[in-house]
Structure 1
Amino acid sequence: MSEVRKHIVFYGRVQGVGFRYTAKYLTRSLGLTGWVRNDPDGTVTMEVQGREALINKLLVGLNGGHFISIEWMDTKEIPLEEEREFVVKM
């Protein structure tokens, strides 16, 4: 299966609820790479790379977080990058 890379902006209750660290845990358990960061406007931006089915599992897992409430996401596919892990950007 081929890999894809997605740029995703999450809207809703996504800051101050453990979103980035939940993302880090889930992506590492799924073998995905990329990064996640909080943005000044209250959104969270993520770039994630791997098999599309695994990225979909990540999104389901994030939306199932106890305090996390994703209202909507803007998603676009972008070119693949060379990287080895998933990191939380400050």
Structure 2
Amino acid sequence: MQTKRVIFEGKVQGVGFRYTTKDLARGFDVLGTVRNLADGTVELIVSGERAEVADFIMTLSKESAVSHHIKSVTEEEIDPLPDLKGFTIVS
């Protein structure tokens, strides 16, 4: 299992990014959260098997309907979050 914190920069707020992320997560065996940050970026916390997490992030950042809004992606591995259930949008 792996948990990553991913920051997406670009025009990623106000374009349906969080909803697209949540919808895309249904096709992967991952848990997590997605939320807008005050600085205009979007934060994704995603947990699952390494390959599944990598495929999810790649699909979101390269192949999704919002991928063209992304200017940069920063990933860091973090400690697992035991309270993750499903995939949710955090306001």
TM-score, normalised to structure 2, is 0.84
The residue that corresponds to 2:64 in the other structure is 65
Structure 2 residue identity aligned to 1:85 = G
Say how many residue pairs are matched: 88
Taking only the aligned residue pairs, the percentage that are identical comes to 35
Contact 1:28–1:85 (Cα < 8 Å) also in 2: no
User: 5+ unaligned residues in a row in structure 1: which ranges?
Assistant: none
The question of whether the paired residues in 2 share the 8 Å contact of 1:8 and 1:75 is answered with yes
Q: 2:42 pairs with 41, 44, 57, which one?
A: 44
TM-score calculated relative to the size of structure 1: 0.85
Q: How does 1:12-51 map to 2 (within 5 A)?
A: 12-51=10-49
Per the TM alignment, residue 84 of structure 1 is displaced from its structure 2 partner at its CA by 2.2
Structure 2 CA distance for aligned equivalents of residues 18 and 54 of structure 1: 23
How well do the aligned residues superpose, as a CA RMSD in angstroms?
1.4
What secondary structure is seen at the aligned counterpart in 2 of 1:41? coil
Please, which runs of 5 or more residues in structure 2 have no aligned partner?
Answer: none
1:56 corresponding residue in structure 2: 54
SS in 2 for 1:84: coil
Does the CA contact (< 8 Å) of 1:11 and 1:72 recur in 2? Answer: yes
Amino acid at match of 1:44: V
Deviates more, 1:56-65 or 1:10-19: 56-65
